Copies of this chain bind each other. A is one copy, B any other.
Amino acid sequence: KPERDVLMQDFYVVESIFFPSEGSNLTPAHHFQDFRFKTYAPVAFRYFRELFGIRPDDYLYSLCNEPLIELSNPGASGSLFYVTSDDEFIIKTVMHKEAEFLQKLLPGYYMNLNQNPRTLLPKFYGLYCVQSGGKNIRVVVMNNVLPRVVKMHLKFDLKGSTYKRRASKKEKEKTLPTYKDLDFIQDMPEGLLLDADTFSALVKTLQRDCLVLESFKIMDYSLLLGVHNIDQQERERQAEGA
């Protein structure tokens, strides 16, 4: 397909391709049930992926070359989470309503990316639906916020609320628990030390991100904070060497 500018209409397009198991002029034969593959807003997402520096062949390779790895579900939304075996992308199943909502947000999402390129909101790379045997499976492909390459020593899910915001006992038994606001207050009473420029840039970005979320009337969001402790990493490295 030739490169061209994204138009307003592109956000509302759904591309639909039928894959009969016996193959067709356009699609290869396969060993699954007949299925239909729908791509939401293909031109818009291609533009987003390009903005994020994701090359088309890398994207396809990451998603399709190795089986996805299922993650234990950290949220209460009923979604399933997968990570690509190369650790690059998170794939999340979404409900019909959620997919519809996300698609409706795309023009505003575009505007935020354009004006606020440092945004810390999720990077959405694609939205798809597989229809087979009367069932629909919708998935959204996102960036992996905390990939393995940088080891995190602490993880917090912060909402800015103190109501019931403590990690469960079960969560705390994990190798790397996701702590919450009350844990943060208790365990990091001095907070995080950032240099002045980083701090003000971060606050500015978070404020702009919050404005966008507010404009979308989204209120159930949190800040996922990973702490990579350089001293601890150094000690671990030395212990390994010893």
The residues of A with any CB-CB pair to B shorter than 8 Å are 4-9, 107-108, 110-112, 114-116, 208, 211-212, 215
Instruction: Give chain B residues whose Cβ lies under 8 Å from the Cβ of A8.
Output: 107-108, 111, 215
Nearest-neighbor residue (CB-CB) of A207 within chain B: B4
Check A6 against B215 for contact (C-beta < 8 Å): no
Instruction: Give chain B residues whose Cβ lies under 8 Å from the Cβ of A111.
Output: 5-8, 110
Apart from A8-B107, A9-B215, A107-B107, 6 more pairs, CB < 8 Å: A4-B208, A4-B211, A5-B112, A6-B111, A7-B212, A114-B114
Nearest-neighbor residue (CB-CB) of A116 within chain B: B5
- Kindly provide the distance from the CB of A219 to the nearest chain B CB, expressed in whole angstroms: 16
Instruction: Give chain B residues whose Cβ lies under 8 Å from the Cβ of A6.
Output: 111, 115
Instruction: Give chain B residues whose Cβ lies under 8 Å from the Cβ of A4.
Output: 208, 211
- Kindly provide the distance from the CB of A45 to the nearest chain B CB, expressed in whole angstroms: 15
- Kindly provide the distance from the CB of A164 to the nearest chain B CB, expressed in whole angstroms: 31
- Kindly provide the distance from the CB of A198 to the nearest chain B CB, expressed in whole angstroms: 21
Instruction: Give chain B residues whose Cβ lies under 8 Å from the Cβ of A7.
Output: 108, 111, 211-212, 215
A211 to B8, CA, bound (A): 11
Nearest-neighbor residue (CB-CB) of A215 within chain B: B7
A211 to B115, CA, bound (A): 23
Question: Can you show 23 pairs from A to B with CB atoms below 8 A apart?
Answer: A4-B208, A4-B211, A5-B111, A5-B112, A5-B116, A5-B208, A5-B211, A5-B212, A6-B111, A6-B115, A7-B108, A7-B111, A7-B211, A7-B212, A7-B215, A8-B107, A8-B108, A8-B111, A8-B215, A9-B215, A107-B107, A110-B111, A114-B114
